[in-house]
Amino acid sequence: MAVVTGASSGIGRAVAFRLARRGVRVALVARTRPALEVVAAAILSRGVHARVYPCDVADPAAVLAAHGLIVEELGSADILVNAAGFGVWKPFAEVTVEEHAAMMARLVSRLG
């Protein structure tokens, strides 16, 4: 079983689909339930087990709660993919000092 954060879009979504194509059951984690449910439905339509776990990985309490629920419902994970992302999506030269500082502060807060 694999846990994939950021599974509702981008790299996380792509990884979740790749794992499912190989028959791996996936726990889909991201902030937005409706987007996760779209991914889960596509995986389930291929006959592979997928469950949705809405969670903001920037919130340690939410991560612990999601972890407990995943383990209770699916057992322990064999694979963990941390693909939850954040950032300012524009050309580097247009990123302000304040935007850069906010991104770095968020990264450092996640590192604990």
Architecture of the domain whose range is 2-86: 3-Layer(aba) Sandwich (3.40)
For the chain, the domains span 2-86
Report pTM: 0.78
pLDDT, mean of residues 96-105: 78
pLDDT, mean of residues 88-94: 80
pLDDT, mean of residues 18-45: 96
Hey, what are 48's tokens? 């592979």
For CA atoms 17, 23, 27, 33, give the dihedral sign: positive
Q: What is the pLDDT of residues 36-48, one digit of tens each?
A: 999 999 999 999 9
What b/e sequence results for 11-43 when a residue is b if at least 16 CB atoms lie within 10 Å of its CB, and e otherwise? ebbebbbebbeeebbbbbbbbeeebbbbbbeeb
